Structure 1
């Protein structure tokens, strides 16, 4: 088993060094990481092919293998996200607010790093570089614990990043990977209170709930996405079809994919047959309630569990409702508070939806697939926070900081 105490001690030391680095020094190291990913590309892709081969041997589904896959194009996208992080303002040391109180004290809220960030995540190797580089720019050391499915890929990526750090006078322990993927080590990691300032789980519902129930360190809940599209009676049908097909099929294995489409009964007879035809080439399995099945040719009966499930696959639940209120009641019951969508041409309906639906991201006439730190301009994200304390939605640089109050006096006493 990995000695997590040693990793924690090393991370603490690295975090102290990193916290006093200048923006220029951090950006130079991030540029070096981009170059290192080029230098080590063949090793990274070869390592990824080992993971892919093992996944296929173990019968992992095609959408899940797609999550795991690295290509030259995907590495370039990861490098582009790091470049975005370089281009973003460094939050560390900035003052959110400064004011003078009645005692003539100047009081300021200054951005500071969280310290040591731990992240437990599943099979997407791009999370390794996103999380590490966001933490680095925001002054945090990071300990990564990826899934066993991506172990070879993650080791190669971390090796490339550590090489760049060392070449730029940073401690390689600024970014560390737990190579032991056993459950025992994961549980120990969740209780590393002396060293972790925050733990971020990123993955499916089982992983999130395990961390919530087991961790004794502070956590930020992220990831699980039982996302809905509500097609209102005043929706443009072709727009709704395009958005549902994109939300379900473009990359079904990610947390911002659509899992349920909710259809107003007034538009169902016209919309659902066209939607089924549009989804057919993608081989999407439909699981529908009885009212929706009347308009569908090949749908299975939807169960209560289907409406509560994040499929992460080419499966789509279908629910019919008679009003906006019914749609919002369904969403409130089953949503994981990630991303929710309404398709409508009625301004007042859209504004009610935005005001009353509780989610990290709420869309009017656009695909939920845009809930992404890179798309939002954050240079990737360490996760999509679905809770309400400290951070919500895609977590970029600012969300990886805390504050300290800095008070300037002229000899005042109380």
Structure 2
């Protein structure tokens, strides 16, 4: 029972109570003040209605004003990794419509009209990219053809392709499906707790072959066994060390199956589930961030040397690794950790927000504003983001990938692996319909500390 009683000494609880009180006052003041102004100056003085009629009309308008809400005015949602034992990873398969997943092979929303393998080639080294993360990102205001909606992000595993402030080694795709489709029940997806580890009964028999290594669309098969498929010659070569032990060997169904491993093979990243939670800020943090916005222009200077930037990046990596599991970091600890970054207002703001939820791997707020990691590296201007390649409509910010994601996929060696301060993802503002409910390529930008 005590667990259900909020701890009023907790700063997060105090902040939530203050926000609730402020909201309660607003929803009282707005309708009452609007009723008075409308009655006194509009309906009586301007339109000449009687006091009783004016009161009725103004009350109706006040109620409408209270309930009118911008459909894009949504809170920030944070994504956190969920570790699952290998024998529970089946919960992240397509038929269960996972909220999101990191690593492993993609759980395609539409398992039929997959992205062509040519669209998954790194622009730097021209080798196949690796699946990184996917998020189920549907909402109540989506058009009918986009009842189900997911984003899929890929990245090249070669660290040499990771250039500062350059996302050429990454790609993001958007896929949508109407509620009535051939892959999922109208009433919802299968339940992993009820259905268990079973094959997808709705998987189309005429669907594309999948690469044995990465899970993407495959066009090449093993010439010897004719059973194993690959997206490219590169992946066939990588997989040969494992495949040669079973190539051409008829599987013994009575033999005990080996325990699943995570990661499934050396190419894919370790697999995690994702859970989402709303970001809550206490009143003190909210005031600090508001003050930061006022001082932003003064803090962002351009006289930082390359050596300073490298030192600042190393300090942040060290800070993030030391505090990735500490959600109760004190203000003094944070100030000490960011002593070297005083001139970078965006960096300080970024650090303060990350320290509240250091294990966040995504920040999601469609039609919102991105959270810059630093003012020393460029962030795309909204007007410079290219339009949707499918409908030519404008793209808007939707979510960003955070530095902690690098840690959980174990590629966080400074200067020796894939790197980013944040990856910003922009998608079609109309969620336009894609031919065959396939995958539309969207835009992303990468910001680095150096």
Is this a same-fold pair by TM over 0.5? no
Q: TM-score, normalised by structure 1?
A: 0.22
Bigger Rg, which one: 2
Q: TM-score, normalised by structure 2?
A: 0.20
Name the structure with the higher helix share. 1
